[in-house]
Chain A
Amino acid sequence: MEEKKLIKGGAFLIEDVQPEDIYTPEDFTDEHIMIAKTTWDFVEGEILPNVEEFEHKNFDLVVQKLKEAGELGLLGADVPEEYGGVGLDKISSSLITENISKAGSFALTHGAHVGIGTLPIVFFGNEEQRQKYLPPLATGEKIAAYALTEPTSGSDALGAKATAVLSEDGTHYILNGTKQFITNAGFADVFVVYAKVDGDKFTAFIVERDYSGISVGPEENKMGIRGSSTRPLILEDAKVPVENVLGEIGRGHIIAFNILNIGRYKLGIGTVGTSKRIIEVTTKYAKERTQFKLPLSTFTLMQEKLAEMTISTFVNETMVYRTGGLIEDILESLKGDKEDEGRKVANGIAEYAIECSINKIFGSESLGFVVDEGVQIHGGYGFIQEYEVERLYRDSRINRIFEGTNEINRLLIPGTLVKKAMKGELPLLSAAENLQRELMGLMPLTPDDTPLSQEKGLIEMGKKLHLMIAGLAVQKYQQKLDREQEVLRNVSDMIIELYAMESAVLRTLKAIDKQGVEKANMKVEMTQVYIQEAFERISSIAKNTLATMEEGDTLRTQLSIHKKLTRYTPINTMKLKRNIAARIIEAEKYIV
């Protein structure tokens, strides 16, 4: 088999990426499409009819449906065949996540089980642990949960207070502490729990529900995702056998952070599924509901909303599957290499920590926007519980909070980049230096008539803007940069937009290459709108950040460079949005 070139995490900021380098939904195989369909058919047939029951906390039914999902193989995609799973690629498991996410709370139950609950054992378990735990988890015979957060440590995960002390006879660790907001706690059989050995060695343990000293607190009364179980996990002299230490003592953070990376990526995928569901129910509503004797869908302000919801979802979908392709490639390249596997996998996933954070932030905020407009189009009925969009609105809010708040993730992105630059993994510093020279002789954009020529130019300029701002920030604040959270957030926002813009352009160019410009028209128009609007956002962020960092003549000089970098002739996005909306209204669902 031909060796595939692996793209470095974060490299998109300084390198030119080609359309054929990224994975896109147009690359799905027939099997991928069948897997997606089986998942959706299961959701439509078994989950959506029971949503009311789930919302009223009929967890027996939730567990029964989870086991039925297990019979179909929907819990085993990420578990290798040798441990009773189906052992599929990451794109397949992403498609399962995307489609399950049209089912509201059930997606949380499913995700906590197959993702953060089971994956630590898949990636970091030793042979005995895998043999023992994975087969029943892959079928749903046993259900998993993940216990990291504590009442006093959320974002500051390493500030955990739970302790683990080796018993005198050396056979057990005695765990004490409380874990907060544990999804699936009401019925999970197996928990991955973090505690500190000897007060400072952060360590992961596999903890079974029926070990002595394990109990759970009462169900939380949540704003949304009410059909999922969330309880505290209480450890009171809990006896955990020494062979249940997961990974190495004192290296639990490696597991925690990498599982968070995967969790963030999967969260991004989930927001795509939910957004598609919202677009579908809202478009149908907009066609049925009439005011002034006309369906809502005929009013151009409503069309604009539908178009913007679709464009945002298109870009979100494009970004997550691009990251999915990166993760799949790196994990595939590590396959069969049992030597020190856990550590290699951890490094592999960590390579794309920036992309995972981007997907988490962009996905949750895109979904937030989409569902908000979904409610708005429903008008007063969107505020009433009989309408699905009301529940979707409440369910979606948590996405900006868990798996690392969006604020924490925004700080992680530039933080990780700086680390990569310092380690010499990414030539960011030399790129920033070259930029200084380039800016002197900069020529304005001259788009030609090849598809998306202007858009490609805007991305190029956007990358320069980012390098300019990030470079200035590093120069100005140096070691104290981490105290300037607003500046870091601004840099982060530019990075997120650049990944979004570039992903959209590359997917569309790849599609044009494959099916011709005419058939890719919807993608072309969505990309054109998105690039222009996103470019305006990064241009404005850059300007504000310059004004934060510089003053007087220096500021004026920088602003003149900014002006040069942001000069272009805007296109008529209003017209494009009407075209986009027309196609969505015709199809009554998300299409590209």
Chain B
Amino acid sequence: MNILVLLKQTFDTEEKIVLENGKVSEEGVEFVINPYDEYAVEEAIKIKEELGGEVTTISLGPDRFESAIRTALAMGVDKAILVDDPDVFGDEYTAAKVLTEVIKDQTYDLILAGYVAVDDASGQVPQRIADMLNIPIISTAVKIEIDGSNITVHRDVEGDTEILEAPLPVIITSQQGLNDPRYPSLPGIMKAKKKPLDRLSADDIGVSPDEVKAKTEVIETFLPPKKEAGRILSGEISDQGRELVQLLRSEAKVI
């Protein structure tokens, strides 16, 4: 069973977002494996440990991604590919296009990914890739069972569970609850530095920057407005109700 895992590095979820010159500042920020991708990595390693095969992570991003990739390698991933060519950085369309080109050169039975990245939270890339590769996708998995060439996936549907089956190959995205990612062990960490990490450029994967150019444009980046203090109404409940309706109409202008 050869498994590909799409891996992105994101801000640690405890980091504060600071804007500098209209951009999110990366100064002094700690980066981690996107937490949902971490579930995908863990699941891939578990499947490999059970069924054998090889796990490869595929990433698109700057050089700093290496620390997240090394962590995945330390957890037990076998090898990694990083497209670190800024000419092919862009939006979700770009990412899907580039990653698809990389995937096409690999042999795989299963592709795993986080269902969303905690930074831009678009949750589009795996779906786009599935479309480009013309294979099925099952999102927000909380349980995966493999039986020969079939896969059964329990997926979280807003609090309920849906059970789906599909033939391999398939893309599955992971939801929280799929597993409990392992800590990279010390021997794992020491081995990770010797595992292969292939760095690819646009040329290497045979895409021209023009053809994968972003289809969207960021016009402005801003922080959400600071939350104002709330107001507690007082008096008889019926008077409060009347006042609330009035305020919703005149002040908040939502009704």
Tell me the A residues contacting B by CB distance below 8 Å: 30-31, 33-35, 37-38, 41-42, 45, 71-74, 76-77, 86, 88, 92, 587, 591
**Is B79 in contact with chain A by the CB < 8 A criterion?**
no
A–B complex contacts, Cβ < 8 Å, 12 sampled? A30-B70, A30-B193, A33-B67, A34-B71, A34-B74, A35-B189, A38-B74, A38-B189, A72-B186, A74-B186, A77-B186, A86-B187
**Is B135 in contact with chain A by the CB < 8 A criterion?**
no
**Which 8 pairs between the two chains have the least Cβ-Cβ distance?**
A73-B186, A72-B185, A86-B186, A34-B189, A73-B185, A38-B183, A41-B183, A38-B184
User: Whose C-beta in chain A lies nearest to the C-beta of B14?
Assistant: A588
A42 near B190 with CB under 8 A, answer no
- Kindly identify which residue among A41, A45, A88 contacts B186, using a CB–CB cutoff of 8 Å: A88
Question: Shortest beta-carbon distance, A589 to chain B, in Å?
Answer: 10
- List of A residues within 8 angstroms of B190 by Cβ: 31, 86, 88
B183 near A72 with CB under 8 A, answer yes
Contact with A along B66-98 (1 / 0, CB 8 A): 010011001000000000000000000000000
User: Whose C-beta in chain A lies nearest to the C-beta of B74?
Assistant: A34
Q: Once the chains are docked, how many angstroms separate the CA of A45 from the CA of B184?
A: 13
User: Whose C-beta in chain A lies nearest to the C-beta of B27?
Assistant: A519
Given contacts A31-B190, A38-B74, 6 further A-B contacts (CB under 8 A): A34-B189, A35-B186, A38-B183, A71-B185, A72-B186, A587-B28
Chain A interface helix/strand/loop/mixed: helix
- Kindly identify which residue among B28, B184, B187 contacts A34, using a CB–CB cutoff of 8 Å: B184
A30 near B67 with CB under 8 A, answer yes
- List of A residues within 8 angstroms of B185 by Cβ: 38, 71-73
Interface members, chain B 1-57 (any A CB < 8 Å): 28
B186 near A38 with CB under 8 A, answer yes
Contact with A along B181-213 (1 / 0, CB 8 A): 001111111101100000000000000000000
B183 near A76 with CB under 8 A, answer no
- List of B residues within 8 angstroms of A72 by Cβ: 183, 185-186
- Kindly identify which residue among B186, B188, B189, B192 contacts A76, using a CB–CB cutoff of 8 Å: B186
- List of B residues within 8 angstroms of A31 by Cβ: 189-190, 193
Q: Once the chains are docked, how many angstroms separate the CA of A72 from the CA of B188?
A: 9
Question: Shortest beta-carbon distance, A28 to chain B, in Å?
Answer: 12
- List of B residues within 8 angstroms of A71 by Cβ: 185
- List of B residues within 8 angstroms of A74 by Cβ: 186
Q: Once the chains are docked, how many angstroms separate the CA of A409 from the CA of B76?
A: 45
Question: Shortest beta-carbon distance, B14 to chain A, in Å?
Answer: 9
Q: Once the chains are docked, how many angstroms separate the CA of A71 from the CA of B186?
A: 9
B183 near A42 with CB under 8 A, answer yes
Q: Once the chains are docked, how many angstroms separate the CA of A92 from the CA of B185?
A: 13
- List of A residues within 8 angstroms of B186 by Cβ: 35, 38, 72-74, 76-77, 86, 88, 92
- List of A residues within 8 angstroms of B183 by Cβ: 38, 41-42, 45, 72
Q: Once the chains are docked, how many angstroms separate the CA of A144 from the CA of B134?
A: 58
Q: Once the chains are docked, how many angstroms separate the CA of A77 from the CA of B190?
A: 11
User: Whose C-beta in chain B lies nearest to the C-beta of A75?
Assistant: B186
Question: Shortest beta-carbon distance, A525 to chain B, in Å?
Answer: 16
- List of B residues within 8 angstroms of A37 by Cβ: 71
B187 near A73 with CB under 8 A, answer yes
Q: Once the chains are docked, how many angstroms separate the CA of A92 from the CA of B186?
A: 10
- List of A residues within 8 angstroms of B70 by Cβ: 30, 34
- List of B residues within 8 angstroms of A42 by Cβ: 183
Question: Shortest beta-carbon distance, A65 to chain B, in Å?
Answer: 13
- List of A residues within 8 angstroms of B71 by Cβ: 34, 37
User: Whose C-beta in chain A lies nearest to the C-beta of B186?
Assistant: A73
Q: Once the chains are docked, how many angstroms separate the CA of A123 from the CA of B187?
A: 22
User: Whose C-beta in chain B lies nearest to the C-beta of A73?
Assistant: B186
Q: Once the chains are docked, how many angstroms separate the CA of A520 from the CA of B30?
A: 18
Q: Once the chains are docked, how many angstroms separate the CA of A92 from the CA of B193?
A: 15
Q: Once the chains are docked, how many angstroms separate the CA of A444 from the CA of B67?
A: 50
Q: Once the chains are docked, how many angstroms separate the CA of A73 from the CA of B74?
A: 12
User: Whose C-beta in chain B lies nearest to the C-beta of A93?
Assistant: B186
User: Whose C-beta in chain A lies nearest to the C-beta of B189?
Assistant: A34
Question: Shortest beta-carbon distance, B39 to chain A, in Å?
Answer: 15
Q: Once the chains are docked, how many angstroms separate the CA of A326 from the CA of B61?
A: 39
Q: Once the chains are docked, how many angstroms separate the CA of A34 from the CA of B187?
A: 11
